Amino acid sequence: MDQIKLPMGRVELDHVDIVTSHICNNRCKHCIDKFIRTSNKVISLETIDKFLNLIRSHTDEQLEVLLLGGEPTVLATDKLIAIAELVHSKGFLVMMSTNGILKDKIIQLIPYYDSIQITVNSDEEIDFWRKWSDKINIKLSGDADLTMEKLEHFIEYTEGFFRRSISMYFTPDFEELCKNAEIWELLDTLEWQRNGSYMYTFYKGVRIKKCIHGETNIIDEPTVPKVYPNGNYNKTWCHEELDDYLDGSWNE
Ligand code: SF4
């Protein structure tokens, strides 16, 4: 454990991910977690401690540490607070990406987290979270239901949230879920920047992210190192079977 290092030498890190579990209280058609519902295991504080020490041995930067899953809020509140405190104690910022279903729990967690990213599906949900707009990154799914009307309404209706974002989702075969021609016409007019294995841009103050076909989730990482609930250290969402990191070796 004392010899751990990043496998590919010194690389630029964007942020780091903690995959808290593969449990979820939702069933999205195109779930982003390939291992969803394959295990009830929840990440341990010991694994997180070891993982953060690895990252800290690589950089002094105050990187963002993002909790995701599965759904992070299925973990006990005490555990999620302990994780936030552990992340802060190592000098990182702590974020969470959630489906927003367990509202009471999220409200309890807000003081402990630097920001919480919530995917919303209605104006009522946006209104609900407005009170915490200084901490909530309000997010819209770029999926099969996205239209120009929905996008423009989201932009207008979420004014005042400190961070707003849209992710253009895709299948493991890189098929975009959004088929709306108007949306893609708009996106094609915007100037995109590359960040590791994905592209991003801003439209009217909203950050939009899309994959790079054939690359995202496969190469150009570990800009986003990930630790998994089983204790393994990895870097991608898909194609883990092709990846040396999945064997859980922390020394190579
Ligand atoms: S909320 Fe997230 S983890 Fe849960 S099913 Fe949907 S995409 Fe998967």
pLDDT in tens, 57-83: 878 899 999 999 889 999 999 999 999
Same domain? For 108 and 125 the reply is no
Which residues, other chains included, contact 173 with Cβ-Cβ below 8 Å and sequence gap of 6+? none
Burial of 252 (0-12, 13-18, 19+ CB in 10 A): exposed
Residue 98 CB less than 6 A away from ligand 1: no
Predicted confidence (pLDDT) at residue 244 exceeds the cutoff of 70? no
Give the pLDDT band of residue 230 (cuts 50, 70, 90).
confident
Q: How far is the CA of 128 from the centre of ligand 1 (A)?
A: 21
Residues 247, 242: Cα–Cα separation, whole Å: 10
Residues of the domain holding 165: 120-220
Check residue 218 and give its pLDDT.
Answer: 46
Q: How far is the CA of 1 from the centre of ligand 1 (A)?
A: 32
Residue 191 carries which DSSP code?
P
**Would you say residue 174 lies in a domain?**
yes
Domain count, the chain: 2
Predicted confidence (pLDDT) at residue 232 exceeds the cutoff of 60? yes
Q: How far is the CA of 22 from the centre of ligand 1 (A)?
A: 9
**Would you say residue 7 lies in a domain?**
no
Kindly report, residue by residue over 20-58, the tens digit of the pLDDT: 999 999 998 778 777 888 889 999 999 999 989 988 887
Q: Quick check: 65 and 32 in contact, CB under 8 A?
A: no
**Would you say residue 3 lies in a domain?**
no
Same domain? For 142 and 172 the reply is yes
Give the pLDDT band of residue 11 (cuts 50, 70, 90).
low
Kindly report, residue by residue over 76-107, the tens digit of the pLDDT: 999 999 999 999 999 999 999 999 999 999 99
Q: Quick check: 152 and 118 in contact, CB under 8 A?
A: no
At residue 17, what is the residue type? D
**Would you say residue 145 lies in a domain?**
yes
Same domain? For 200 and 252 the reply is no
Same domain? For 20 and 106 the reply is yes
